Amino acid sequence: MPESSVRPSIIPKSASSVWKLFIIGFIILILMIPVAWISSLIHERNNRKESVVEEIAAKSGGSQVVAGPFISVPYTVSYLENGAYKYRTNYLHITPENLKVTGKVESTTHQRGIFKVPGYTANLSMEGSFPAVIETSEATGNVIPDWANARLTFCIGDDIGLKSLKADFNGTPLIFRGYDGFLTISYLKDKPGASKRIPYDGKDTSEPAFDCRFAAKLPSAAKLESAKVKLNLILTGTEELTLLASALNESIDLSGNWTSPSFDGDVLPDSRKVSSTGFTAQWNTNYLSTGNKPLWTNVDTTLRLSRLSTKFIVMVDSYQQTTRTLKYCILFLLLTFMAFFFTETVTRQRIHPIQYLMVGSSLIVFYLLLLSISEHLGFGWSYLLAAAAVILQISLYSYTILRTRSFAVKIGALLTGIYAFLYILLRLEDSALLVGSIGLFILLGIAMYLIRNINWYNQE
C-alpha cells in the first residue's frame, strides 16, 4: 500500500481536533463584532430614554430640591473705593430653630412612546419656629438690619414644577414674589465621604448650587421677635425628591404610594417601611450632625446643607439588565461550542465551521431579541421568550445536522440550564460572583468527567 494512503489514518484525526479548536476560537472572535454592535445599540437606546426623561422634566419639573424657609434681612454697608464712600446691600440670613415637615407623595408615570418615566406630585406642609435675633450678634457686627424689608425666603430646584406655595407668619398670610441674588444654596451631591462642614466659597462649580427665587415680605412686627411660620406647597417632579436639612433641628415624615423607593443622601431615614401599597420614612437631624449655623450673611462662607433624598426608580432597568446579560456572551458561546465539539469527537461525526457559525449567530440574536422585547414587556418575560426561541431554534438545527434526536434534546437541556443559571445570577446581585464561580467550577468538573475516556492522540 502506498505511503501516501496510510498517513491520513495515522495523524490527521488528532491533528484535526486541534485545528477545529483554532477554528472555533476564530469563529468566537468573529462573533464579537455583532456583540459590540449590540452593546452600542443598548447604549443608544438608553441615551434615547435619558433624552425622553429630560424632555418630560422640562415640562413637568425635574428632580426637585427643596430648601428653607429662611428669614433674610437686608442691611447696608459702606466701603471706600477710589477715595469715595460707596454703599451696597448685604443680607443677614436666619435659620429656623425647629422645623417639622410632613409630606405626601403621589407617584405617576409619564410615557413617551415606549419609554416610561416615574414622576410624582408632592404635597408638603412645614411648620417652623425662628428665635428672637439679638441685633448685636456675632454675625451682624455693628451693622443695623433693615427689618422693614425683611423677607421669608424659600428655595426649590426647578420652578416649573411649583404648583402652589402658601405661607403665614405668626398667623399673617404672606404673598411670595420672585426675587434673585440674595441667597444661594449649596449642597453636597453623590460624593460619599466628603465633609459637609467645609465652607462653600462659590468657586467649586462641581457642587450643585442655586438661588432662592421666592420671597415674601414679612410684617413689620417681625423685628427681633421669635416667630412661627407655616408653609404649604405642591410641586411636581421626576425620579427624585430631595429635602435639604435647613433648620437647627428638623424632623421629616414622608409617605407615598411608590412601592420601590430608594433612600439616598447624606442622612438616611431613622425609620422606613416599604410595602406593596407604598412607603413611609422619617428623618431627624440637628445642627451637631449637619453643621448648620443659626445665622450668617451672604458675604460669609456658607456651610453645605445635608441631603435627604427619596428616589422613585424602576427597580429592574431593562437596559442595565441586558448589558449585564451581554457580559456573559463569551461563556455561552464557549459552553455551547464545546458541547458540539465533544459530540463531534465522541460520535466521529463532522460539523462544519459554517454550522458552528450558525449556532453562534443564534446565540447572539438572543441579546437582540431580549433588548427589543424588554422595551415592551417586563425583563423577566422578555428573557423567557427570547431564551425559549433560541433554545428551540438551536435544538431543531442540531437535529437536522446530526440526525440524532438524543443530542438535540441534550443540547436543548444544556442551553436551558445555562439560561436559567444566568437568570439566577442576574437576580442575585450581591452574591452573583460567588454563585457564578461555583457554578463554573461544577460545569468544568462535569465536562472533565464526560470526556475522561477520550484518547486525544488516537481517537479511532
Alpha carbons 69 and 62: distance in angstroms, whole number = 21
Beta strands in 131-259 (DSSP E): 151-156, 162-169, 172-174, 176-178, 184-186, 209-211, 214-217, 227-238, 240-244, 249-256
- Report domain extents, the chain: 16-48+319-450, 62-315
Give the DSSP H or E segment for 107. Answer: strand 98-112
Per-residue pLDDT of the chain (460 residues; tens, 9 = 90+): 444 444 444 445 555 677 888 888 898 899 989 989 988 888 888 888 778 777 777 777 788 889 889 988 888 877 777 767 777 788 888 889 999 999 999 988 877 777 778 889 999 999 999 887 655 444 455 567 788 888 888 888 888 888 888 999 888 899 888 876 677 777 755 444 343 433 333 344 445 567 778 888 888 655 656 789 999 999 998 888 999 998 999 999 999 998 888 888 888 899 999 988 899 999 999 988 888 888 887 776 555 788 899 988 765 577 888 888 888 888 888 888 888 887 777 777 778 888 888 989 999 999 999 988 888 887 888 899 999 999 999 889 888 887 778 888 888 888 888 888 888 887 776 676 777 778 778 877 877 777 677 666 655 4
Nearest to 183 by CA among 158, 208, 212, 204: 212
Q: How many CA atoms lie within 13 A of 175 on its CB side?
A: 0
